[in-house]
A and B are shown apart, each in its own frame.
Chain A
Amino acid sequence: MSRPGLAALAVLALIAVLAMVGPALWTIAPEATDPVHGLAGASAAHPLGTDELGRDVLSRLLWGSRVTLLVGVAAMIAALLIGLAVGAVAGFKGGWVDAVLMRFTDGMLAIPAFFFILVVITVLGTGVGTLVLVIGALSWMPVARVVYGETLRWKEAEFVLAARSLGVPGGRLLARHILPQAIPSLVVSATLGVAFAILTESALSYLGLGVQPPLPSWGNMLQRAQQYVFTAPVLAIYPGVAITVVVLAFNFLGDGLRDALDPRRRR
């Protein structure tokens, strides 16, 4: 894989390790408030300072990384499953099923997703589970298109026709012979999908519609930080840098994987 791709992988591995063991090593509770020492600068007790309620910023960043990464990965898996189902069925069945499902996909792509997210949250309310489903339900379209394209490309291939002539049933044909061909493209979509999901989660949490306090996420840490932008500007810096680095790493990893898995794109 390309050097940026490998560097991105190393960064992500480091962040994953921090998210897993960080909260165990840095034992200040992310919810522990200390209003007297609110908005304090960096000190030995709080290396990154405290927020407006005196909560330790380092601890919230570490715990927040768990929430942010878990929501990102879970939402990507949801998007992958929906996209896989829609794309595979549309491509394999063809005919009116294909027409209906792919028109639906195009329609979903043309609606400004964020407004529809607001509609869904208006009805279902906020919560981590809802958040994962909402992001998944609004980002499966690119996956569906990729799977659709691959299914169309391979369903008439000779090895598939051979399997079909041996009497392999449709579902098995799809699962064992056609969809494995789509795995390289799906790996790329999934990687880029995590980046998109993390960006969406952070934006929704910033708006107060995503992860709810006191549970920390990088997005909801920024919600309050904006109010204190005059008095404690660094509060707004750390979570934003964290989000940018993680999303950047996922994007680089996705691009690196695409080049590595698709020989035609190598130059």
Chain B
Amino acid sequence: MVVFASALTFFFVNLAPGGPASIMRFDVTAEQRDVLIRAMGLDRPVPQRYAEWLAAAVHGDLGTSLLTNEPVSARIADRLPNTLTLAGSALLISILLGIPIGLVQAVRRGSPIDHVLSLASAIGLAVPVFWLGIVLILVFAVSLHVLPSAGVTSVSSDTLWDRVTHLVLPAVALATTILPTVVRFTRSSTVEVLHEDYVRTAASKGLAPGVVIRRHALRNALIPVTSAVGALVPRLLGGTVVTEAVFGWPGMGRLALEAAQGRDYPLVTGLTVVIAAIAVGASIVVDLAYTWIDPRVRLQ
């Protein structure tokens, strides 16, 4: 998967018109251009360069940034913790809010609560993340002055609490990229499970409704939700680009934006590969969660 992403990116970057060979500015002479092209190895065939790039990448060497001349891996490592914190918090918010909301909707299907929450998640799906971010800044930072609008920490105080307050708005904004979908999946799969025979049996033998839902329905309802969350991780990670831009969050998304604006090919390629690797890592975690929720998988 990661190799697929890297190959796609590498070949696209190197074969498309306007690729690395054309970035040399107009004020260089033909000889200088030749020297540069040879120094960067651009005179060799693309598949060969990809093989060399891949061999180096396996050892953690993703090349050198064109803008700053630092190693790409160092620049990414610098930003990686911030992005993981942001995306991890957003994922946590989506799961911890999305599953209970979907559950309530399924249990109270057709009630006013269900309709209001359905409308809310429909709106959540339609709101652009960056605009929601601006509105959140407008409300909580500009009008109410309760939360900071940008950055990871304040200049004056770098405490844990300070970091948490800086994290709240971006994490909430990013969470809306997947929260409505988590709610919808939880609702529909719980509605289905509630029609199952074993749920009716549990209810008819006199168990309290709460017990039926918690012990019998929830676990089975969560199985499709888990795989849905796994499929949503790439979307969540993609959302970091916009969210980090709105909130001035120094993560990989903003780095990718800077790299794109500065046409820093090695950096953009490296970032895409690392993000794809994170997405794959997340799907492995989801698979593990699967075996924990559904013991039948373990037996196979």
What residues make up the interface of A, taking CB atoms closer than 8 Å to B? 107, 109-116, 118-125, 195, 199, 202-203, 206-209, 219, 222, 225-226, 229-230, 233, 236-237, 239-240, 243-245, 247-248, 251-252
Contact = CB atoms under 8 A, between A and B. Distances in A.
A208 B276 CA distance: 24
B242 A111 contact: no
Interface in B225-240: 231, 234-235, 237-240
Contacts of A209: 257, 260-261
Contacts of A109: 231, 234
A144 B122 CA distance: 25
A124 B19 CA distance: 8
Interface string B97-117: 000000000000000000000
Tell me which of B19, B142, B238, B261 has the highest count of chain A C-beta atoms within 10 A of its own C-beta: B238
The SS class assigned to the B binding surface is helix
Contacts of B122: 248, 251-252
Interface of B: 1, 4-5, 8-9, 12-13, 16, 18-19, 122-123, 125-131, 134-135, 137-138, 142, 231, 234-235, 237-242, 245-246, 253, 256-257, 259-261, 263-265, 268-269, 271-272, 275-276, 279-280, 283
A245 to B, nearest CB: 8
Contacts of A219: 128
The SS class assigned to the A binding surface is helix
Nearest to A255: B122
A123 B18 contact: yes
Nearest to A206: B130
B5 A236 contact: no
Given A119-B269, A122-B260, A206-B242, A107 B127 contact: no
A226 B18 CA distance: 32
A121 B260 contact: yes
